[in-house]
Structure 1
Amino acid sequence: MSLGYVTSHIDHNGINTIEFFHPQSNSLPAKLLEELAQTIHGAGNDDDTKVIVLQSGGEKAFCAGASFDELVAIKTLDEGLQFFSGFAHVINAMRKCPQFIIARVQGRCVGGGVGIAAAADYAIAKEGADIKLSELAVGIGPFVVGPAVERKIGVAAFNNLAIDATMWRNAEWGKRKGLYSELHGSTEDMDESIQRLSHTLAHSNPAAMEEMKKMLWHGTENWDQLLLQRAAISGRLVLGNFTKMAIEKFKARTK
């Protein structure tokens, strides 16, 4: 529990619930990123899985993005590439998974967490699920998650999030821009909607849904290469003194 976990559970209807958790606001160290990508990939290859619900543990943050403890520990270009490639692998696993992925967003999303919400095919959120792309504030940028976020909310909205990296946008902003497909006032209403949609999709034609997903993700076929190229940029920037100092200052403020 102290190191976090990724779990997968499939019910009799073929609804596969994948959950990730980390005690630091569901931030994602490299190990959890790898496990999450592998779990999504495995679910995609499972004939019994009809639809995937992706959620995080706890009642507060959905995902705080990259683990700052691991960011400050990166010492080489290769280590930087390997770490940020973790987010690339998760997004690409979500993109290539033949089943629809519903994201349950119960709380705030930061950085990579916004990217995961954006990479879901349908995100259902609760009020308070505010968003921020904080990467520039710590000396890097939303390079890896950028294509997923831009695809979902458009260039202008992504531009605003990426440049004003210290400003929270509320969940209603996320709903208006298309990051969230639905926004609910309570956990109960959010979960009821997720249950309704996942049940409907679990009883829909798998072949039709797979073809729909290919159609909806058309134009992203180069992401296997693109996201790794972006990971290399982040991996280089994280080695700079500016970024190291910025992350340490941020960690000090949050203690």
Structure 2
Amino acid sequence: MNIIQRNLFRLLRCGVFQTTETLEPMSVCKWDKLHQLAVLLDVQPYAYQGLLKCKNQFTLHMTDGQWGQWELTHARLEDLDDDELLRPDKLTNPILNRQLQNILDDETSDLQTRRVLIQIISIARRILNEGLPLRRLVELGVSLREQGLKADYTELAEWLRKLRFQQMAQLEAALLIDLLGFEPKDIPFVDTDINRKTAQVAQELAEYTAIHQDFYFSQGSDSIFVHTNNGSALFSHIRRSARYMRFIPSEAFTNFFASFAHSLTHIEE
């Protein structure tokens, strides 16, 4: 992890989770790159909170123009309402998706527990398709810190087992621990001992910051051959699906073929 990424995670931990962090000194150019990275990962409001807390540190040197840039891109943080949180990404595996919808439709279950489940699933879906959804990971951390005691984690563990999401939940827990300063005891749905390989994959995922790239197949009007518009995106999707197969095999497999099938819709009949 390079110095820009390290300082970004320090700002997030400091601004959102109130840790005490000392920033590494960086050039004006690198502070510009950190701002670009925060915008790319959609965490600039959280990083800005960290900057305000660290603004008197000797190692923090930014120009007035850079401070103004942060202020311009700083968006007001608004909580999603319950209806929004109860409309998650659907799972591509039809059997598991039916089970998920049954869980969400059960109004007798605890609402806060359903919200945590949806956050875990939403992060997993984006890991499969985009890379690290850092803002959603931060929001999961905020939920655990502020409202975690209100959730029923015995019921959540049973839901994760039914949906076969235990290993993916472990990966998300490893990200919270490695990147945002959580302890295993702070994450009720995680085992006390994070698998070493899980932690390694979490670190590799943290360094992958590319945004989602679509691929689709098309056919030229004067040719019988089918080609893809973005070969690198296609192979990146294949590699990502293979990498996370061990964490969420049922969804990783169907997710790739769902994306593949969607890409074929661009071919003219």
TM-score by length of 2: 0.31
Higher strand share: 1
Task: State the TM-score, normalized to the length of structure 1.
Answer: 0.32
Which structure has the highest helix share of the two?
Answer: 2
